[in-house]
Amino acid sequence: MEERRVNVTVNGEPKVADVEPRMLLAHFLREVLGLTGTHIGCDTTNCGACTVNFDGKPIKSCTMFAVQADGHEVETVEGISRASELHAVQEGFKEEHGLQCGFCTSGMMMTAKALLEENPNPTEEDVRWALSGNLCRCTGYQNIVKSVLWAAEKMRSEAAVRR
């Protein structure tokens, strides 16, 4: 099969690679770019462990081809923190114990980040709805929801300080 060149911005950095047209975005991120925070749990969009933000919107990278990302921006869990500082969503998962085995965590965080960028003051129902496409087999979601609400509060507080 003939390879196609892909030009994509990943976590703010331009990346160029030749890939088979059938390569999934999740495999491209993990195998070609070495960004293993994007997990593959089902290949059918059921679990959401592979969720990344594509042009700012959460998508399940297990059902998108890498060639479809050509010319677009992809953000993975590796790209949301800056230097040694955790993103508020990551900090929320730490503070509120929003993870157990950690397999779903990166997808949950990427979905939560997109939600909070769109809606900085979500209700518990908003958070549960946003996360409804991501499965956790361990925690029962309660601490994940608390983690996202904690992050929302922190982000609002930080925004108020900057004003």
Q: Walk along the chain (163 residues) in steps of 10 and give the mean pLDDT of each run.
A: 94 97 97 96 89 97 97 97 92 94 94 98 98 88 96 94 83
Final residue in a domain of this structure, among 79, 106, 137: 79
Same domain for 49 and 99, yes or no, is no
- Do both 60 and 11 map to the same domain? yes
pLDDT of residue 54: 98
Co-location of 105 and 43 in the same domain: no
End of a domain among 17, 45, 79?
A: 79
- Considering the domain architecture, whether residues 101 and 145 belong to the same structural domain is answered as yes
Helix (H, G, I), strand (E, B) or coil at 159: helix
b/e code 115-154 from CB counts within 10 Å (16+ = b): bbeeeeebeeebbeebbeebbbeebebebbbbbbbbbbeb
Q: What is the pLDDT of residue 160?
A: 87
Which of 134, 129, 132 shows the shortest CA–CA distance to 103?
134
Structural domain of 126: 88-162
- The token duo for 104 is 């779903």
Same domain? For 75 and 130 the reply is no
Q: Are residues 94 and 126 in the same domain?
A: yes
pLDDT number for residue 159: 85
> Which contacts qualify for 118-121: CB closer than 8 Å, 24 or more apart?
120/152, 120/155, 120/156, 120/159, 121/152, 121/156
pLDDT at 94: 95
- Strand positions, DSSP E, 2-117: 4-10, 13-19, 51-54, 57-60, 73-75
Whether 70 and 45 map to the same domain: the answer is yes
Look up the CATH number of the domain holding residue 134: 1.10.150.120
Q: Are residues 18 and 70 in the same domain?
A: yes
CATH code where residue 27 lies: 3.10.20.30
> Are residues 112 and 57 part of one domain?
no
Domain's final residue, options 24, 50, 79: 79
Same domain, yes or no, for 61 and 104? no
DSSP H helices, the chain, are 25-27, 88-95, 105-118, 124-130, 142-162
**Tokens linked to 52:** 């990344």
The amino acid present at 135, given as its one-letter code, is L
Crossing angle, helix 88-95 and helix 142-162, to 10 degrees?
A: 140
Residues 69 and 23 in one domain: yes
Q: Are residues 74 and 24 in the same domain?
A: yes
Tally of structural domains, the chain: 2
